[in-house]
Amino acid sequence: MELMELEEELMKPIHPDYPSLVKEVRRQLAISQEDLARELGVSYATVNRWENSQAKPSKLARAQLDAFCDRMLKEGRLDLG
């Protein structure tokens, strides 16, 4: 991701239903919270807190999740439409 793209991603507002988005990504990819955490470079507890509305992702974590989802969309493994 180029610097300009990363800056644009960091400026996006947080998805209003972020917990459901994270759960849906995991459901479609059939991965655990631990697997997603590993992909994003965060802890299992962090993903768990996102899904349970106990925390919102940082701008960096959000950009990492967006990049991961974009990659999975391009590979045809994810459908968020």
Predicted confidence at residue 59, as pLDDT, reads 87
Range of the domain at 67: 15-74
- Whether 36 is covered by a domain: the verdict is yes
Q: Going from the first residue of the chain to its last (81 residues), give the mean pLDDT of each consecutive group of 10, the final group possibly shorter.
A: 54 67 95 97 95 91 91 93 77
Predicted confidence at residue 24, as pLDDT, reads 94
- Whether 24 is covered by a domain: the verdict is yes
Domain total for the chain?
A: 1
- Whether 35 is covered by a domain: the verdict is yes
SS (H, E, C) the chain: CCHHHHHHHHHCCCCCCHHHHHHHHHHHHCCCHHHHHHHHCCCHHHHHHHHCCCCCCCHHHHHHHHHHHHHHHHCCCCCCC
**pTM of the prediction?**
0.78
Predicted confidence at residue 4, as pLDDT, reads 59
